[in-house]
Structure formats: C-alpha cells, structure tokens
Amino acid sequence: MNLKGNWNYPTKVRFGAGRIAELADACNELGIKKPMLVTDPGLAKLPMVQDALARNEAAGLASALYSDIKPNPLARNVEEGLKRYRSGNHDGVIAFGGGSALDAGKTIAFMAGQTRPMWDFEDIGDNWKAADDAGIDPIIAVPTTAGTGSEVGRAAVIMNEETHTKKILFHPKMMPSIVIADPELTLGLPPHITAATGMDALAHCLEAYCVSSYHPMADGIAVEGARLIKEWLPVAVRDGKNLSARAHMMVAASMGAAAFQKGLGAIHALSHPVGSLYDTHHGLTNGVVMPYVLAFNRTAIDEKMTRLAAWLSLPDPSFAAVMQWVLALREEIAIPHTLRELGVESDRLDALAQMAAIDPTASGNPVPVGVKELKTLFVASIEGRLD
C-alpha cells in the first residue's frame, strides 16, 4: 500500500514518509517569509529540527527557533514565545513536535496580533468571537508523535499557573493551514511514549464516538481510527522502526482529533486536573482512567460498544468485548492500571473532582457527571475498581 497522499480534510495535509522536505514549499504557499519554529527542548537538539531549519535557510527563509516549552505547556512559555515572535517580526509559526509544542505554537500564532489577554479566549460560549481574525498568523503543523492530533485541531490546552488548571483556548483559525505529517519523524519515539500517545489517540476516538449528539461523520472517523489503533499500536510499541505502523498511527491520531470536534467526555475531564496537579503525561493519564469511565458510562453506550466491537472484529461483539480489549491492550503496552501508580492519592480528591466538574469536556459525557460522580470515578481509578 502506498501510504502517501495530499488531503484537504479537515485542512491541507501532506501525508507520507519524507514529506518534511516540503517544509519550505509549505511556507511559500502561505506567504510566510520569516517563520518561527516552535518545538520542545528535547527535539530542538535533534537532527530533524536542525535539518528543517537548514532547509528553510537554504530556501531563503530566515527561521528562528523557540523551544522553551514544558510537557504540559505553561502560559509563561507561550508569553515568552510571543514576546520573541513579535520582537523578531515573524509572520508565521511552524509548530513542530508533540502536543505541547503544537499547542504552544498554535497559541503563539493566534495571539500574534491580539490585544486582549489570552484567557479571554477560553473555550466558553462565544469567547472566540472577540478575537481579531486579522491578527492571527498562519500555522504549519509538523507532528512528531501520534497522539494528540492537535495538528488538525482548532484548540490548544495551556496551563494557567495562577489557578493550576488547564485551560482550553479555541478559535476556528487555530486550525493549522498546512500539516506536514511525515511518519519518519516518529521513528525515534521510545516504546513508553509511543504507548502513551497512542492511548491518547484511542481516548479521542472512543470519547468522540460515545458522545450522545448526532454526528455520523465523526462517528465513522472515530471507529476507523480505533480500528487502526487496534491493529497498529501494539506493532509500533513492539517495533518502533516499522514505518507502516508509524504511518497508520499518525493518521489515526489525526482522525481522533477530527472526530472529537463532536465532543469529549469524562476521560478528559479526569485527566486534565491530574495533569495540572501532578504534571502527568496527558495520553498516559487518559489510558489509565479509560476503562473506569467506560464502565461508568455502560448504560448509555452499551449498544454503541457492541457495534464498535463488531467493527473491530472482536469475538462475541458486546460492551464486555470492548472492555476486555482495552484492558488487554493496556497490559500489552505497559499502561498502568491505576492512578495511584502515577502518584495520585486520595488526599486531593475534592480539588480534583471540582476541577473535573468545570472542565469543558465534562459536559460531553454520555452519562451526566458532576462533582459527586467524578469523585467516585477518581476513587475507582485510584483503587483500581471496575465493578
């Protein structure tokens, strides 16, 4: 199979091995003359980033590098990047890396010409309409993990250090104008990061599919994304140099993000405050809490899970078949079974539950959740109770 293509769904995507060579061409297409490449400190030292900068330089594009990004990006990371962006008179962002770099880069480009504070654009109601559209600079996204799908998303998650909470910022023009999805860039990911980011992609597919609102297009994308993950995530973890596995996982991650335009649910509502208070990896946390949320939602998703099980070719299609598959997958790729294994204890239950209840993703859960229900889910996830 030729795993390469140019897609316009949901934005322009140049997919396939070696496509990073087209970075300068993508800048030219968008009229970017002086890009700032935003990445994380680890990637900034690797040849893939240095090669990208060198290619741009050879094409006459003077590219700056900004890499002061935390794994859970902080507001101050964005603010410092924005300061450098403006002082360097840059005219576009290359967001290069995993979810943290993509989210930070997208936010810097979004805020480039804004005069209002960043938090005025939190994803609440119609806040996004207050933005100056003309002040949003073009974005090229280059994902190097297969998890968040932020490369095809209209939002970014940034930590507010003052409140110790993750905030979702939203605007339609946060969607990158061009994505260069080159699976060769993921070949160096270690198994534990491959596993954690893969569970993030699965969480997106499962939660989008389970949201109650009517959106058959998103549902179709979600279930096929889940099938690709079922087939290829164990292979990618076991054999990180398998380019087919890396390619299928990269597209599955983008599919999960395209699908969750429909919405998310309690997996993310639980995961966001844990990441805020304990600085855990987002995808890993999603993978840990996943089965507890599925069990809680069973009455609302039983029929959907039966259909999904059939699509995944699981024996005796049913909710139980999907649950058994999720548990077996987690064990196979070494995802912890409880939040306690991530350092989460019951001493902060009240704070966690209150933060989860106001997270924007909570409202999409197929079974309504408030502080009481989310606290119960945290206890189950800490203690490992699926009954």
Q: What is the pLDDT, as a whole number, of residue 386? A: 95
Strand partners, 369: none
74 φ, ψ (degrees, to nearest 5): -95, 155
Question: Per-residue pLDDT for 265 more than 80?
Answer: yes
* Overall average pLDDT of the 228-249 stretch: 98
CB within 8 Å of 108: residues ≥ 6 apart: 36, 38, 66, 78, 81, 82, 85, 93
Q: What is the pLDDT, as a whole number, of residue 1? A: 74
What percent of the residues of the chain are helix, what percent strand, and what percent coil, each to the nearest 5?
60, 10, 30
DSSP labels for 313-372?
T-SS-SHHHHHHHHHHHHHHTT--SSGGGGT--GGGHHHHHHHHHHSGGGGG-SS---HH
Residue-wise pLDDT for 301-349, tens only, equals: 999 999 999 999 999 999 999 999 999 999 999 999 999 999 999 999 9
Angle at 171 between CA 167 and CA 175, to 5 degrees: 105
* Overall average pLDDT of the 202-211 stretch: 98
In whole angstroms, what is the distance from residue 246 CA to residue 186 CA? Answer: 7
Strand partners, 166: 159
Instruction: Give CA 71 to chain center in angstroms.
Output: 12
Q: What is the mean pLDDT of the chain?
A: 97
In whole angstroms, what is the distance from residue 39 CA to residue 372 CA? Answer: 39
